[in-house]
A = this chain, B = another copy of it.
């Protein structure tokens, strides 16, 4: 382990992976509750909403990891850690809301987007500053 290894970032990323595992488990529990045997992915509306809630989390997870890593490496590890924790709360709100109704997924979803945009802007700032410094010798 290098002495400057991003330990807190790694902790958040590890917890986020376990959180994704928990959401996958929720789909399994919903399968059991509604007696939907794999490979079926259709059934009562609540099951279909649970399934789609998980799918949406899966679709966004690699994007989230990229934003987290670039924000941590090129802007600030602490900002990435805070962003990562808020993202997990937002995803849990989204998931729990979506299970109840299609409309109730929205608050969590908007918070998800807000966190991702913030992480993206911070990462972009850090990367551009780094590129100006390294390739153009402009020190901001």
Binding site for B on A (CB under 8 A): 1-2, 4-5, 7-8, 10-11, 13-14, 16-18, 20-21, 24, 37-39, 41, 45, 48-49, 51-54, 58-63, 65-67, 70, 73-74, 98, 102, 105, 116, 120, 123-124, 126-127, 130-131, 134-135
List, in ascending order, chain B residues with CB within 8 A of A59's CB: 24, 54, 58
Closest-CB distance, A9 to chain B (whole angstroms): 10
Binding site secondary structure of chain A: helix
Interface pair A5/B102, CB less than 8 Å apart: no
The docked-state distance in angstroms from the alpha carbon of A4 to that of B73 is 12
- CA distance in complex: A38, B48 (Å): 9
Would B63 and A17 count as touching, CB distance under 8 A?
Answer: yes
**Cross-chain contact A4 with B7 (CB below 8 angstroms):** no
